[in-house]
Structure 1
Amino acid sequence: MGYAYEIDEHFVHFYGRDSGLWVISSGLTTTEGKSGTIADWITATFGATDVVAGAREVGETVAGVWRPGVFLYDDIRTALATTDSDRHEALQSMRLLLDRLDELFLYVEPGPASLSTYSHKTRELLILACTELENAWTRYMREADAAPAGKDFTTGDYVKLLAPLFLSEFQLTLKAFPGVAPSRPFHGWTAAQPTKSLPWYDGYNQTKHDRKTHFDKATLKNCIDAVAANLVMFSVRFSPYPLYNEGGTISSLFRQLFEIELKDCRRESFYVPLIKFPDNPNLNLIVIDSANQKMVQPWGVKPFSL
């Protein structure tokens, strides 16, 4: 997988992965002086096929919306317009949810036969996870200066976040429990049925308002999906990398329980770093580490909007 553009006298190409988190590596930057078209260059040099035009300017990001291309902690802060304190606060919330889920797994082994299990503990976690999720949704609606259709925000409003946050792309797998199907918590979310098309959220909504009738909706599966949905929202705002690399209990718990990846992703939405060449640059075909050579320019951050 590769990403290319032309600038000044040069063609520029970054190598990337075509699975997992679709990392784009500025440490493997290929450059060459321009000759012909960039389409000819990427075909002749890299054997490019299935070429897709990017949907955003090179070096451009959207505040609070992670896409592949943002990897380093400094980039997470600047490209996503986040702060360390915001990230630490969000990590504490994720730690609590993961702790509660891990505790459930001590008593109920996740598997096809147990996913419909429900109890007061599963109901407690489902309500906690979905309440946390509503807070995350509401934050984005307010950042976009969006007003609710009625008195308060509902899933009819929140579903508008599906496309601009790329929520349906995220998939989480319970690594230690291969019998449990991967969770894509937002896959299939529709404006036509904004609550019912999220079965885990619909279950939360029913059991929260009528425990006696809908206690059985607080299933282990709904808990797993609701926690996964929170991990998706964290990853959108701060990237998935702090979940793996922050250290301490949170990273240990996350790595023990989950693997996160992107599926059916829109490559044209990825963030591609803009580099600046020094005076009298080399026009030969060369591979450089543009990050370590301080050639990568600051990201241009656009505000989030619906």
Structure 2
Amino acid sequence: MIYKVFFTETSNDINEPYSHKEFLGLWEKKDGYLSEVRFPKKKISITENDNLIEVLKETRICKIYLENPDPEMTTEISVEETNQVRGIYYPRIYRGIAHDDLSSFSLLGRDKKTIEAFNIPIDENLLVNSIEQLNTLSEFLNKILRTVFPAPANFDAYGFDIRNLIILSATEFEAQITGILKINEIKPDKWNYTIIDFFKSDKLLRLSDYEVAFSRFPDIPTMSPFSSWKNASSFQSLDWYSNYNKIKHDREDNFHKSRLIDLLNSISACYILLLAQYGNRPIINETLSNYWKIVKSPQLDISEKLISPLKDTEWEVKKYNC
């Protein structure tokens, strides 16, 4: 079991209420021992009859916070259970490593986070193919933007090349998000996956928390193609995706909906899906940072992140239960 440990101090003066809660770290209780997640080899013996909080109070970090208490304050150590399990990861769902947030030292001049956060097993061929597909889409986009400059005044511009690239990029979005749902055994509501099924993915990928910008085109406002899903309790449509279906199935009546703004959103959605699956890995950053930059990304609680196994070879895949 993994626990979040907190130090809390509360004012004893009812006329001046004050409370402060500080996170002290993640601790693992397993096989009769207690250890801080960052330092699994430093174990403390603990039995089933031992009080977890009382044992924690004897650790160095807790003693530092509990010593010399303010007589006007009540201080205590508290714990919260998490659902984290060491060495478990979900395929094509990026979560980062929890104990990267708990360590600030560098190794050979490199941030430890850069080294540890990307040791989670992935299908490298799938990642490279997705990057190359997005590179191809961006090359097509460049040709269009040499004719129709991507300024807000031109966002409603439409045409055949814009329509065709919307269909290609939205199809890539569908392929990737369908693949994520399939590998995690999240079945469609009906025979085939639809946008209603894709909406479920916001819970596991946090797509609506991403905001990106086009590095080479500062006139384009930041893009958040999944923003309408944020905090939605029931299905919400995506305008760009709705227009994509209309221009794909009924071009004659909906040709005017082949808009530049929908193209920018659909191709940005593919970039965000890469980040949501794999994180901003060096290969993604080095290849695509000259085209996109991340403005906002999900701020995950430490209890939502992964705990590295004791050895990289001990990672265990688990399907995400939506």
TM-score, normalised by the number of residues in structure 2: 0.66
Cα 1:102–1:53 shift into 2, 3 Å: farther
Instruction: Report what 1:66 is aligned to.
Output: 94
168, 181, 186: which one pairs with 2:226? 186
Write the distance in 2 (CA, Å) between the matches of 1:264 and 1:96. 27
In the alignment, the residues of structure 2 paired with residue 169 and residue 271 of structure 1 have an alpha-carbon distance, to the nearest angstrom, of: 19
Q: 2:207 aligns with which of 164, 167, 173?
A: 167
Q: Which residue pairs with 2:153 in the alignment?
A: 113
Change (3 A) 1:184 1:52: farther
Higher relative contact order (CA 8 A, sep 6+): 1
Q: Which residue type is aligned with residue 256 of structure 1?
A: N
State the shift of 1:73 in Å: 7.8
Separation of aligned partners in 2, 1:211 and 1:39: 68
Specify the SS of the correspondent of 1:222. helix
1:290 matched residue in structure 2: none
Offset at residue 176 of structure 1 (A): 3.4
Contact 1:173 1:259 in 2 (8 A): yes
Of the candidates 273, 291, 295, which is equivalent to residue 308 of structure 2?
273
After superposition, the Cα gap between the structure-2 partners of 1:122 and 1:73, relative to the gap in structure 1 and judged at 3 Å, is farther
Tell me the CA shift for residue 75 of structure 1: 6.2
1:163 match: secondary structure? helix
Instruction: Tell me whether 1:223 sits opposite 2:258 in the alignment.
Output: no
Shift of the 149–10 alpha-carbon distance from structure 1 to 2, 3 Å rule, reads closer
Distance 1:54 1:223, change over 3 A: farther
Corresponding position: 1:244 with 2:279: no
Residue 48 of structure 1 corresponds to which residue in structure 2?
none
Helix, strand or coil at the partner of 1:4: strand
Root-mean-square deviation over aligned CA pairs: 3.6
Instruction: Indicate how the Cα distance of structure 1 residues 264 and 237 shifts in structure 2: closer, same or farther if over 3 A, else same.
Output: closer
Q: Residue 243 of structure 1 aligns to which amino acid in structure 2? A: I
2:290 aligns with one of 249, 256, 259: 256
Match of 2:227, SS?
coil
Deviation at 1:65, TM superposition (A): 0.5
Q: Distance in 1 between matches of 2:278 and 2:36?
A: 31
1:138 pairs with 2:166: no
Match for 2:290: what amino acid? Answer: Q
Matches within 5 A, 1:1-150: 4-7=25-28, 8=33, 10-11=35-36, 36=57, 41=62, 44=65, 55-69=83-97, 76=118, 79=120, 81-150=121-190
Residues 200 and 270 of structure 1: CA distance in aligned 2, closer, same or farther (over 3 Å): same
Could you tell me which amino acid in structure 2 is paired with residue 271 of structure 1?
Answer: L
Secondary structure of 2:146 counterpart: helix
Asked whether the 8 Å contact 1:100–1:125 carries over to 2, the reply is yes
Distance 1:166 1:52 in 2: 23
Q: 1:168–1:186: 8 Å Cα contact kept in structure 2? A: yes
Residue among 176, 195, 199 paired with 2:216? 176
Pairwise CA distance, 1:128: 0.2
Unaligned runs of 5+ in 1: 15-28, 46-50, 246-250, 276-294
Q: Deviations over 1:83-106 (max 9, x none)?
A: 222222222211111212222222
Instruction: After TM superposition, give the deviation of residue 42 of structure 1 in Å.
Output: 10
Change (3 A) 1:5 1:231: same
Q: Does the CA-based 8 Å contact 1:3-1:13 persist in structure 2? A: no
- CA deviation string 1:22-67 (max 9, x = no partner): xxxxxxx9x998862789649849xxxxx99755234432121012
TM-score by length of 1: 0.70
Residues 43 and 158 of structure 1: CA distance in aligned 2, closer, same or farther (over 3 Å): farther
Q: Is 1:302 aligned with 2:318?
A: yes
Bigger mean CA deviation after superposition, 55-64 or 110-119:
55-64
Match in the other structure for 2:10: none
* Aligned-partner Cα distance in 1 for 2:293–2:249: 33
d(CA) in 2 for partners of 1:271 and 1:43? 28
Report the Cα offset of residue 144 of structure 1: 3.1
